[in-house]
Amino acid sequence: MRVTIFGASGLLGKALMREWSGDAVIGLGSRDADIRDAKRVQQVVQETRPEWVVLAAAYTDVDGCESNPDLAFAANRDGAVNVAAAAKGVGAKLVFLSSDYVFDGKNTTPYETGDARNPQSVYGRTKAEGEIKLLELMPDCCVARTSWLFGIGGKCFPDTILKLATSRPALDVVNDQRGCPTYAVDLARAITQLCRKKASGIVHVTGAGDCTWFEFAQEIVRRAGLATTVRPVSSQQMARPAPRPAYSVLSLASLQSLGIEAPSWRDALRRYLEQRLS
């Protein structure tokens, strides 16, 4: 199988390049192909002639999207359309990485794939509109929604907590946002399986289980053997430019229906810490 990955220099892209084996995989970073450049995207897809395209490239700075909405839509919506059009042009299938931010966070039970989109932030709107346009352009594409991504090789929550915990006796972390931490290695392995199983439609791909950011931070500090105290605070006390979903737990029924199991986020954290310290 020939695979072309856009966003190969990002956190997920690096994991995809490390984990994917047994197929002919070409990884493209932003320097190789800016997805906002339709002609360049078309050129590299024509050159690589993939059977599958994985679109992991995106503008993921949630707060940055609030102050740079034109850039956010150009990358996350219009750039996604550029990639989808190029994939369609060579008869390739597509996996598009989307986000829990397409939901409003008002649920109290896990979001199913068919639940209504109602994004509350610019980032969420760019991803929601990207989903809609891609499913119109390529009805058989696969939209893989994920959340709370962490891993080696880029900025992520556990890395930030570990760095702060070495220099501070106490950390304040929000305790009123609940979601599913997802290890980039596990997400990469799931994406590989989605391609091999010729998946289509919307699939939720996260770590199994859920927690708040406070609970996540507590577990990080505990497993790392650090003495730092983690204190729960509200979102209002830690105000950010972009609103965050209070509840963005994604149901894994769609993933399980394909015969793909998601490891628990706690086990994923253990493996992340082992990898980070190795």
CA 1 to chain centre: 23
* Structural contact between residues 102 and 143, judged by C-beta atoms closer than 8 angstroms: no
Encoding tokens for residue 142? Answer: 């696969």
CA terminus-to-terminus distance, the chain = 32
Q: How many CB atoms lie within 10 A of CB 110?
A: 17
Q: Quick one: CA dihedral 59, 60, 62, 63, positive or negative? A: negative
Encoding tokens for residue 270? Answer: 């253990």
What torsion do the CA atoms of 130, 136, 140, 142 make, to the nearest 10 degrees? 10
* Structural contact between residues 48 and 26, judged by C-beta atoms closer than 8 angstroms: yes
Residue positions annotated with a catalytic role = 123
Radius of gyration of the chain, Cα coordinates, nearest whole angstrom: 18
Q: Quick one: CA dihedral 257, 260, 266, 267, positive or negative? A: positive
State the residue for tokens 């439609």: 201
